[in-house]
A and B are shown apart, each in its own frame.
Chain A
């Protein structure tokens, strides 16, 4: 399997550079000279134009420009300077926004996949019942509803009608006046603690699996480990001075994440159900029944485990949908992530930020694909064992 991962990583690496080259092409094909954009921009002094042209290397041959571009966007980490917020660097603007989008994307994907798979699995088992029909109709509804409209409805419903949640945005400015911490620092700390919790849990599980043989005790140890870690994190945050600020951020996060998750949850449910129905026709399901395996075990350990494979494959194709959904969510909820940065940049004709945002979103997408491919290889022994 390592061979497979290495090969895939290599392919993605190359595709990454092809993608960057395409971005360069896009930039180049754009009508008009980039430097002309400077002339009209009131924020930039006229002398800067000359310097810009030299700095941007616009007087050099195209190949050299391409090379510089590729280098800058990958290893150099230099995506230029923002035009609308001159002289802030693009990387500074975008790397502030990046963790937020990653958080939104990760949470929505993981939650929607997990819940969707679980629901789809259960629903496929109860073919022809009322539960199946209701779930199917609800899922189709949430999957086909026009997402921007749905997000607007969610925003309106949660803030105006229920009044339980804020009207979008990342933080409530009033709460943060005079705060000794920046929103970014608190947010990063929250992300860090979540990452730490997941890693520690993973390590604990591994250790437990190695030392304990019996499946039942293993599972109870898993649960003990999880809840004690969660309790620890909650206590540490509870006594922390930052807790009110963290809570404010969480309060703003709930509805956007919920909206994005809901739609993709529906999609995964539909997908899983179809996959399960196909898997249930396989011969090994009949064999499992003949062996006297109880129904729930057949559903979970035999059918679902195999149904997972096509679902994971389809998920790869669905990633683009999640990313698009994320961009729209950020726009409607004014959630300051990469998507909103991209849209803001396009509206303000701030090309460096727009290209940078597009590049970063592309990298996020590539990375997600790589993870999905590896997950699939892990799940399917036909790839895992012989590569």
Chain B
């Protein structure tokens, strides 16, 4: 039953800056010392835009997401930087204020959403919980049910299933339900952390299409986090590449794919085979990501970088704009060659 669903992005006029992350630094304190998990990350999400964060496991992308929602564990410390949503600093709020903004302003689709559901309550009731916490007016039980039903239809689920328990849903269905729950309070921003990992390829494709459709129809601002470049390529307009806690490249997805300027992005793209492009030798990345307890001096990528020079070992490069809307953190970005034969 089609219902008019008043889901709209409350992010304001399309194109205006919505979420501004400035010089964010976050460390985890462990017995062995401080782990530098997020170092000087800066990017801006505009209203109606979808931005991707790509990088290996452990590069800090999920940490960034958790910092935005202030869901970090007790042993974490935000050392510097700021996060502004609609001009308001999120880091300066106290816990109660932040709690009220969670889900209502920023919601999140977690990695492995199968386990995001509490096994002892019905799926519908768990979404109801979100509505009751944040929806500005009090809804009647029926109104809540209607809204959840409409949300379900939006993500491709049968509204009848909202009375079921999580164990009665398949993995793909649970994932869709999580997306429905993330949309439920009309958030300004949605963070999707590996939304399709652990799903088979067909379901993965379906869900990505849904997300893209929702984003375009509703003008939702989304941050995608993934280690899979193919996913990022498919759904985002802009993307950032993270390595060892640092944002090393930031630009439009098309630009970064066609003309990566950071050696890491270059090697990353070169190591991905392409069905349509010409045959070329795959260039795997040598070595392993650094131990963030004791990161390398200078540029964190220099031990593995084929373009590294002496300067890279000493001075850490900052993220600077090198072309229209395209920033990179590398001293030798000029040396990075073109990727041959990549069609989009």
Contacts and interface: CB of A to CB of B under 8 A. Distances in A.
Contact of A292 (B112, B115, B118, B134): B134
Interface string B110-137: 1010011111110000000110011000
Contact of A290 (B107, B115, B168): B107
Given A213-B141, A381-B167, A382-B167, A289 B119 contact: no
B102 interface: yes
A216 interface: no
B165 A284 contact: no
A302 B108 contact: no
Please list the 9 inter-chain residue pairs (A to B) with the smallest Cβ-Cβ separation, ordered nearest first.
A292-B102, A283-B115, A287-B116, A284-B118, A381-B165, A291-B103, A292-B103, A292-B99, A291-B130
Contacts of A158: none
Contacts of B29: none
B110 A293 contact: no
A292 B135 CA distance: 12
B119 A292 contact: no
Contact of A288 (B100, B115, B118): B118
A30 B161 CA distance: 62
A213 B138 CA distance: 14
Contacts of A380: 119-120
A375 B5 CA distance: 41
Contacts of B129: 291, 293
A292 B104 contact: yes
Contact of B119 (A287, A288, A381): A381
B117 A284 contact: yes
Interface string B273-297: 0000000000000000000000000
Nearest to A309: B120
Contacts of A382: 119, 165, 167
B102 A291 contact: yes
A385 B168 contact: yes
Interface residues of A, number: 22
A283 B120 contact: no
Nearest to B184: A291
B112 A293 contact: no
A386 B168 contact: yes
B71 interface: yes
Contacts, number: 69
A305 B115 contact: no
A381 B134 contact: no
A311 to B, nearest CB: 14
A163 interface: no
B223 to A, nearest CB: 14
Contacts of A385: 165, 167-168
A282 interface: yes
B224 to A, nearest CB: 17
Given A290-B71, A292-B134, A381-B165, A283 B116 contact: yes
Interface string B210-229: 00000000000000000000
20 contacts: A282-B115, A283-B115, A284-B118, A286-B71, A286-B110, A287-B110, A287-B118, A290-B69, A290-B71, A290-B107, A290-B108, A292-B99, A292-B100, A292-B130, A292-B133, A292-B134, A294-B99, A305-B118, A306-B119, A379-B120
Interface in A282-317: 282-284, 286-294, 302, 305-306
B104, B120, B133 — most chain A CB neighbours (10 Å)? B120
Given A290-B69, A292-B133, A284 B116 contact: yes
A385 B169 CA distance: 13
Nearest to A127: B74
A286 B104 CA distance: 16
Nearest to A306: B120
A291 B133 CA distance: 8
B102 A283 contact: no
Nearest to B118: A284
Contacts of A381: 119-120, 165, 167
Interface in B74-107: 99-104, 107
A306 B118 contact: yes
A385 B161 CA distance: 14
Contacts of B134: 292
B145 to A, nearest CB: 13
A302 B130 CA distance: 13
Contacts of B99: 292, 294
Tell me which of B102, B107, B118 has the highest count of chain A C-beta atoms within 10 A of its own C-beta. Answer: B118
A306 B117 CA distance: 12
Contacts of A302: 118
Contacts of B116: 283-284, 286-287
B302 to A, nearest CB: 35
B120 A289 contact: no
Interface string A344-387: 00000000000000000000000000000000000111100110
B130 A289 contact: no
Choose among B116, B117, B133 the residue with the greatest number of A CB atoms under 10 Å from its CB: B116
A138 to B, nearest CB: 26
A306 B121 CA distance: 10
Nearest to A302: B118
B271 to A, nearest CB: 31
A87 to B, nearest CB: 56
Contacts of A386: 167-168
A385 B166 CA distance: 11
B200 to A, nearest CB: 20
A286 B66 CA distance: 10
A291 B101 CA distance: 9
A284 B102 contact: no
Interface in A263-290: 282-284, 286-290
Contact of B115 (A284, A291, A293, A294): A284
Contacts of B103: 290-292
A286 B69 CA distance: 11
Contacts of B167: 381-382, 385-386
Contacts of A290: 69, 71, 102-103, 107-108, 110
Nearest to B140: A213
Interface in A5-21: none
Contacts of A288: 118
Contacts of B121: 305
Contacts of A213: 141
